[in-house]
Amino acid sequence: MLRIHFTAEDIARTRLSTVADPLWEVLLSHFRLGDPAPPAHLRPWTARLRARPDLTDLMRPGAALLAALAPRGRYVPDFLTPAESAAGLDAGLDAVRATDPRRLRRELDTAARRLPAGLPELARALGDFHRAAVGAHDDLVRASVEADVATRTGTLLAGGVEALLRGFAPMMRWRRPVLEVRHPADRDLHLGGRGLRFVPSFFCDGTPVSLADPDLSPVVVYPIAAEHRAAGTGTDGSLAELMGPTRAAVLAALRHSSSTTQLATRLHASLASMSRHTKTLRQAGLITSTRRGPAVLHGLTPLGRRLLDGG
């Protein structure tokens, strides 16, 4: 059990991130790859990875380094998930590259591990892992996280921070002035006026996670609520089974109108491949395609939206 102690100032400085943190998602998706049976909401994700050997190849160096540095169920060096990552993947990778040597040595000693590569190589491998394991599945991740954040933001606006804290039950329990968090370690964290940042995660499963070092900026990464996990996955992965994981991903990505180039970039596919998939979906009456200058803009038809929403 992790017991987080709040003061009035901490309540005032508590905040909810509106997006998932890219490097926390790297770490947690790495752990999920080791699950013997993935949770239901991750089945479309694992299906895509199986169908895309190019993505698994891109992930391999990062997976090897994470396995060496952060084995599941053990202490995880905090430098792998820097606070700067909240500003985006590039900012997080820059922070990894710039890790202070003394901090690096201290955390590796605590983990009883050594760094198999230099920090620039590690940052590059983590970036590739993110692009393959997280970024290429942005439609799945973003829709689910946005649904969770929208609900919790409504709670926050209606009832304040303490209502937000109560809303994390049953994985957390608010007993003023202490937030009790299901956690593998039994410890106390005194915020001391720093506040707390809550970060939603698509890949966190079961219990929330946090940094090991109590002197770092406090954060709790929590699994999004079960009712929101289906927001980006169609009907529990049935779309992927019906039309294949890539076309299902294209359809889900078109919740927001996009050009062929934007789709290809987001889903890590070639332009030629994306053109074929959009043609098939258009012929099936699921999307529309409109030329805007040199680009072709795609969007969902009412039928495509109903299919995506399971209606």
Beta strands in 61-191 (DSSP E): 172-175, 178-181, 187-190
Question: Residue range 11-37: average pLDDT?
Answer: 93
Q: Are 89 and 118 in contact (CB under 8 A)?
A: no
> CB burial class (10 A; 0-12, 13-18, 19+) of residue 20?
buried
Please say which residue of 203, 232, 261 terminates a domain: 232
Q: Are 128 and 162 in contact (CB under 8 A)?
A: no
Same structural domain, 217 and 247: no
Same structural domain, 55 and 94: yes
Instruction: Tell me the per-residue pLDDT of 96-145, one tens digit each, with 9 for 90 and over.
Output: 999 999 999 999 999 999 999 999 999 999 999 999 999 888 877 887 88
Residue with tokens 């752990």: 31
Same structural domain, 213 and 263: no
Residue 134 has what DSSP assignment? Answer: T
Specify the higher pLDDT residue, 49 or 226: 49
Same structural domain, 251 and 172: no
Please give the order of strands across the beta sheet that includes 178-181: 172-175, 178-181, 2-5, 187-190
Same structural domain, 4 and 115: yes
- The residues that bridge with 210 in the sheet, in sequence order, are 220
Q: How far is CA 206 from the centre of its chain?
A: 15
Same structural domain, 251 and 179: no
Instruction: Tell me the per-residue pLDDT of 19-29, one tens digit each, with 9 for 90 and over.
Output: 999 999 999 99
pTM above 0.85, yes or no: no
Q: Are 266 and 258 in contact (CB under 8 A)?
A: yes
Same structural domain, 225 and 248: no
Domain enclosing residue 277, as ranges: 234-308
Same structural domain, 138 and 273: no
Residue 234 confidence class, pLDDT cut points 50, 70, 90: very low
Same structural domain, 221 and 252: no
pLDDT tops 90 at residue 39: no
Same structural domain, 46 and 127: yes
